[in-house]
Structure 1
Amino acid sequence: MSIRSGLFKLLGLCLLAGVLVAGIIFPVAGAAGVISNQASETVESMSSDLADEPPPLVTTITDRDGNPISTLYKQYRIPTASNEISDAMKWAIISVEDRRFYDHPGVDWKGTLRAAISNTSGGDTQGASTLTQQYVKNYLINVIYREDPLGQQKAQEVSIARKLKEARIAIQLETKMPKEEILTGYLNVVEFSRQISGVGAAANAYFDTTAAELTVSQSALLAAMVNNPAVLDPWNNPEEATERRNFVFDKMVENRKLSAEDAERLKEEPLGVVPGGPNKPPANCIGAGPEYGFFCQYVEDYLLDLGMDKDDLYTGGYTIRTTMDPEATHAAKAAAEAEVAKEEPNVANTLSLVKPGKDRHEVVALAANRDYGTDKDAGQTTYGLPHEVFNVTGAGSSYKIFTAATAMEQRKYGIFDTVPVPGFHTSPVFNGGGDHCPTRPSGIKAYCVQNAGEYGGSMSLQDALAQSPNTTFVILEEETGMGPVVEMASRLGLRKTMASNSANGEAPVPDHEDPRFSMTQTEFHGPGGIFDAGAGFFTLGASPVSNLEMANVAATIMSGGVWCPPTPILEVINRGGNEFPVEEKSCEQVVPEKLADTLAVGLSKDVDPGGTAAAAASGAGWERPMIGKTGTTQFQGSAAFIGATPQLAGSAMVFRPDRPYGGLIDGGPGNVRASAGSTGNMFGGKTPARTWFRAMNPIMEGLPVEPLPEPSPEYS
């Protein structure tokens, strides 16, 4: 190198050093001008964030007794206080990353200048960041910019500007936090690969221990990994991880925190990580397992529907105590599986249980024959079969509950009044029948309906609910008007169902050419929809429906006509240990109490001889007073049984979740399958009713036998 070029390089380095020092002290010096003020405010704000805002934490979901069932997170982190971290871990990270940590004011001047000079002059890229600076960088990457790839990129780019900003924040941070807090903060925010963040989670995931119990060897491996977590992953790259761990031992010897003899001995030890990969819980409801996963998913969906931010749910560190009863859930799951094998293609058997009440309707269990999970070949699914509007072919004649309630409310019929039961009926009001229906002078098909069985010409409304003649309830729809019947369905509990579309149970698609997609079910079936006076087949339950909401319909009836949202939440506690308010919808008196009580009596004969669920009730040895209503759709493609005692309401549904249209074959418990043809032999009194009684018998065992309410003369 010539003397002249050497002088120029020396001059450049001196200027660079001056820029660095000026940049670092820039906010402290209080330089005048708008740019100075803005820079200072930015540094002050970011250093305050690091001092005050905690990083993302794990949300825990529990059953009603407080036993954890699942965790939700984006970064697996176990908050760890300073006194909960072993000295070995602290000295390992200090020795390898920042030997002068306790001596500098946040920036190691010598190291920073050396790195800047090397990087600017084209030499090897050097970091030379202090632990305080690394805390700043990791906090920016893993907390502030964790959902912002561009921000993450800027937070770790190799540039003088980034180093200056990082150094300024580090200096400010050291004026706000003691060294021990900075070290603890760093160890809680740094990433150890595979979404494992912080030493508490790393100790558990890598060694099945706590941060307080970390040994020197374990601490050295974790301290080694922060240099490059992906490359130094001990399961994928054990040789590189061992080499870097041993380097940490050497640095601990240099820092007089480990003897040379112990270092050489420890270098011979294996890495000691848990076999097969890190020990960490799944990051979503998969962790709840095959039995509790559906309930966990409902908890998440319920909170998001109430307006909770999903990112907040997954990072807020909440403890969510739910209403789930594990014993009831187990009984419900066992019953669903006993009737329909979990591996059975295209058959879902679901059971939802809700506790009636005038203040709350707590969801007790959500179950399906299928397991909750991602292995479809093993009969698993992550679809919300028990609670979403997923049965797209409907709940059949169980919808006659809404028609009966409307007729009673309008005082057209009391529950013991005689109703007509013709074998065949052509509606003078409704349109839209099939080929077997006559064509009116207007050219529009009339709506006509016939019964599935033979009945006399009339019976009481109570007997009609038990024996379920179709013609009767279409006639009742004509007399009440379709609008009130559709509205009654929503009032009694089908809130999400009626707000979905009539095609696939999802949100309406605006301006879709097919009105089944573009309208809500309320619009589609009610007056003003595609049918002049409404869809007469509504009472026959041929539209998408939520099993949970049908269970809640039964709960509303058994609660004296009080609707409450089917809630899975008992309490939500935030990371600070305080209750987090969950703004749930208020309960509503949707029908008069005397009407609901009388309707309950009207629904009490379905399990008696002659009722559509009598065989299932008798086979289960059922003896308690209850309400019940079966339902079967045309071609036997889906079926339902809705029932309740004063203590517990439930709905069981069997349907085809994958290819909805076609029949179901019931060959007895454990022998249910999807038909290869268009029809089947399924009825609500078969698989659904058997599922309901099979679960309810053990759940109700030991509880007092409570009577149904008395009917009111006003509605009798």
Structure 2
Amino acid sequence: MGLAWGVRRLAVLVVVAGVLVAGMLFPFAGGIGLLADAVSDSAVGTNADLEAGVLPAVTRVQDATGRTVASLYDQYRVPVESDAISPAMKAAIVAIEDRRFYEHGGFDPIGAARALVNNSHGGATQGASTLTEQYVKNYDLYVAARTDAERQAAVAPSYARKLKEAELAVSLDHELSKDEILTRYLNLVYFGHGAYGVQAAAQAYFGVDAAALTVPQAALLAGMVQSPAEYDPVAHPDGATGRRNVVIEALRQQGAISQEQAAQAAAAPLGVVPDPSIPAEGCIGAGDAGYFCDYVLAYLDRSGFATDRLAGGGYTIRTSLDPDALAKTKAAIDGQVPPTQPHVADVVAVVRPGADAHQVVALAANRTFGNRKGESSYGLPYEPENMGAGSVYKIFTAATAMEQHLVGIDTVIPVPPSGYTSPIYRNGAGRPIPVGNAGSYRTALTLQDALAESPNTAFVKLEESTGIAPVVDMAVRLGLTSLAETPYSGKPGTASIADVMKQQNQASFTLGVTPTSALELANVQATLASHGTWCPPSPLQSVTDRTGAPVSVTQAACRQALDPAIADTLMTGLSKDDATGGTSAAAAGQTGWNRPIAAKTGTTQEYKSAAFVGATPQLAGAAIVFDDSSSPRPICDGTPPRSCSGGNIYGGKAPARTFYRAFGDILAGQPVVPLPPTDPRYLTGTIPSVQVAAPEPDQGQGETAPDDTGHNPDHHDPGGNG
């Protein structure tokens, strides 16, 4: 601003100093220079800050339809343009706070002199500040101040502060139009009940936009600026009415309204809603979308987005959340396990496959998202749960064996009897551990039938040929990325779970002993349904800033994790789980499931968790039922599932019923799409097929025989977590 601003600044100092001396309220010594120096540290804001005028604004998390599901803020403020504020509101605030607003140049010496004369002992405690000066003070208080000391300084009864405000106000008046200053002021100030700015206040008190405010409504809000608590229309309706009518009379005196209009406005009821409120802050206010919202914030944080900028940044985060899919998923979950059921969590993740993106469609749990008793703010559907997913992991052993051309889905593989001692399945002391089956099986099965019936011994024996490390790597490639990212010891910088599984040659890996999340399992299925293409499970469609400009978010690139021919063939290899003899056949029948699906069940040691994963060409997902308490106990299936001493939960029970009900409802009305065709190269393999023995009369699978346990229930598994 150079010399011109220097001259104006000096003029302001002279005028204000003259007012102070005339009122004999300031022990003036040292001249204008000393007074000028005194103001240098008296305010937080600067000319540049004020001229930019950027205010903290609400960040909105939206679902795929554009509906806001969560609001992130420190101050609930919705800045609006001048034409979105009613003329009545502008006139009311000018009439009561600064009737000479359009006449002065930001500082009003007449008003300042009048206020200073009323201050008896030198404290600048009485107002008559111009709206522009008030804007400066409030900007310091609500925007620039970062510490309690700075906030106290912004309202301190100091002449130096008053002078600094006047100086900055004159500068703003020179740089901005009166309408711009007025608009900024109305977007900034606090109106009580958590509402910052006139748009938030109009919505909170009257349920309307600021553009629709009437004369009595505008007068009420304008009157509250002086003291939102004292003139709170809910707590102090008489005081609020009296103050409102003072504003109405000021409007009449200034000629903004007629005598008749003033009388009508003064006779109007306050008309505020019974409980003025603003949207709840954060994901806790998102209702059933709370877990999805929480995942969005976690995803942004992992992507390197500075999430501390969200609360006041005014961003719009459009997500991939399908509200209809969420509602149907939540209904299916609660229909199996009520939100208040002790010890039993039921969680589901739904992902849409694709070659370019795997979009998360819904995340839900029976627990209400929150911090109150019986609620949970842990990311139940997307954070790993410690009990594991059991025999779902047999998918990785099958995929590895197919990739190594050892087997195809039609290859007949041996099924050793329960109690089989594998040379690679040992405890910490190096001694072999017998592998148990939950139920009786034929002595040999095709790989497809083995995936459907799930004998443990068959897949431990298959690992003898594939090796453990390739199976662990396959799990990470297909979607269990947390295994490679999470330290086995829990201490950062130490070996990951995947590394330890490989280093210790943990044959129990195929039995699903590691911590697992429903979302990662759903993404594994999405990878298979995307012809072997892995993409990060993304909850984002777009992120834009307050101007509508797109904001870049770093996301991992999609990659071909598995030969498309293997992925497509394995989809058919997993297609018998819902058929007769499959471990989820009863659940599919109970829920009326009638679509082709690639699915797998799993149950863990001591029945503390059970899982079901499935994929159609349109949607992939996973359901896990597990004990989410600090002292996990076995779970018994029932109506609803409950804690019990022995346990009998299986992946084909509550988890499968939850999944089939949710996906059946979501996909209702959509075409029934067949699974992709198989590739002849992956129907057979180099391991010689063995002859299938006829089943004994009491053998077979289904609800009359137990599902897979994922662990040997009779022996401790050193690699397990449950």
1:638-681 C-alpha deviation (Å, 9 max, x unpaired): 111101111111111111112452111112xxx1232232x311
Rate the CA distance shift 1:253–1:12 in 2: closer, same or farther, 3 A: closer
Secondary structure at the residue paired with 1:372? Answer: coil
CA distance in 1, matches of 2:533, 2:86: 56
Indicate if the aligned counterparts of 1:43 and 1:172 stay in contact, CA closer than 8 A.
Answer: no
Rate the CA distance shift 1:44–1:649 in 2: closer, same or farther, 3 A: closer
Secondary structure at the residue paired with 1:350? Answer: strand
Indicate if the aligned counterparts of 1:137 and 1:166 stay in contact, CA closer than 8 A.
Answer: yes
The answer for the alignment partner of 2:481 in structure 1 is: 495
Indicate if the aligned counterparts of 1:662 and 1:674 stay in contact, CA closer than 8 A.
Answer: no
1:164-184 C-alpha deviation (Å, 9 max, x unpaired): 222222121112101111011
Summarize the alignment of residues 329-478 of structure 1 with structure 2, pairs less than 5 Å apart: 329-376=326-373, 380-389=375-384, 391-422=385-416, 423-432=418-427, 444-478=430-464
The answer for the alignment partner of 1:213 in structure 2 is: 212
The answer for the alignment partner of 2:664 in structure 1 is: 697
Correspondence 1:281 to 2:279: yes
CA distance in 1, matches of 2:431, 2:157: 75
Structure 2: gaps of 5 or more residues: 1-19, 684-722
Indicate if the aligned counterparts of 2:193 and 2:277 stay in contact, CA closer than 8 A.
Answer: no
Give the structure-1-normalised TM-score. Answer: 0.85
CA distance in 2, matches of 1:424, 1:554: 31
Q: Look up the equivalent residue of 1:319 and give its one-letter code.
A: T
Q: Could you tell me how far 1:630 is from its partner in structure 2?
A: 0.3
CA distance in 2, matches of 1:431, 1:236: 71
1:182-226 C-alpha deviation (Å, 9 max, x unpaired): 011100111112331111111111112222222232222212222
The answer for the alignment partner of 1:566 in structure 2 is: 537
The answer for the alignment partner of 2:676 in structure 1 is: 709
CA distance in 1, matches of 2:601, 2:356: 28
Q: Could you tell me how far 1:321 is from its partner in structure 2?
A: 2.3
The answer for the alignment partner of 2:147 in structure 1 is: 148
Secondary structure at the residue paired with 2:567? Answer: helix
Secondary structure at the residue paired with 1:371? Answer: coil
Secondary structure at the residue paired with 2:359? Answer: strand
Q: Could you tell me how far 1:95 is from its partner in structure 2?
A: 2.3
Indicate if the aligned counterparts of 2:85 and 2:210 stay in contact, CA closer than 8 A.
Answer: yes
Correspondence 1:672 to 2:640: yes
CA distance in 1, matches of 2:282, 2:479: 29
Q: Look up the equivalent residue of 1:453 and give its one-letter code.
A: G
Correspondence 1:634 to 2:632: no
The answer for the alignment partner of 2:704 in structure 1 is: none
Q: Could you tell me how far 1:264 is from its partner in structure 2?
A: 6.8
Q: Could you tell me how far 1:519 is from its partner in structure 2?
A: 5.1
Correspondence 1:662 to 2:633: yes
Q: Look up the equivalent residue of 1:522 and give its one-letter code.
A: A
Q: Look up the equivalent residue of 2:391 and give its one-letter code.
A: S
Correspondence 1:108 to 2:105: no
Rate the CA distance shift 1:586–1:485 in 2: closer, same or farther, 3 A: same
Rate the CA distance shift 1:12–1:195 in 2: closer, same or farther, 3 A: closer
Indicate if the aligned counterparts of 1:345 and 1:673 stay in contact, CA closer than 8 A.
Answer: no
Secondary structure at the residue paired with 1:402? Answer: helix
Rate the CA distance shift 1:15–1:288 in 2: closer, same or farther, 3 A: closer
Rate the CA distance shift 1:15–1:296 in 2: closer, same or farther, 3 A: closer
The answer for the alignment partner of 1:4 in structure 2 is: none
The answer for the alignment partner of 2:497 in structure 1 is: 521
Structure 1: gaps of 5 or more residues: 1-8, 27-34, 434-442, 512-517, 528-532
- Given candidates 294, 319, 325, the residue that maps to 1:328 is 325
CA distance in 2, matches of 1:496, 1:164: 58
Indicate if the aligned counterparts of 1:560 and 1:593 stay in contact, CA closer than 8 A.
Answer: yes
CA distance in 1, matches of 2:62, 2:291: 13
Q: Look up the equivalent residue of 2:98 and give its one-letter code.
A: D
Q: Could you tell me how far 1:685 is from its partner in structure 2?
A: 0.6
Q: Could you tell me how far 1:318 is from its partner in structure 2?
A: 2.5
- Given candidates 491, 496, 500, the residue that maps to 1:509 is 491
Correspondence 1:92 to 2:78: no
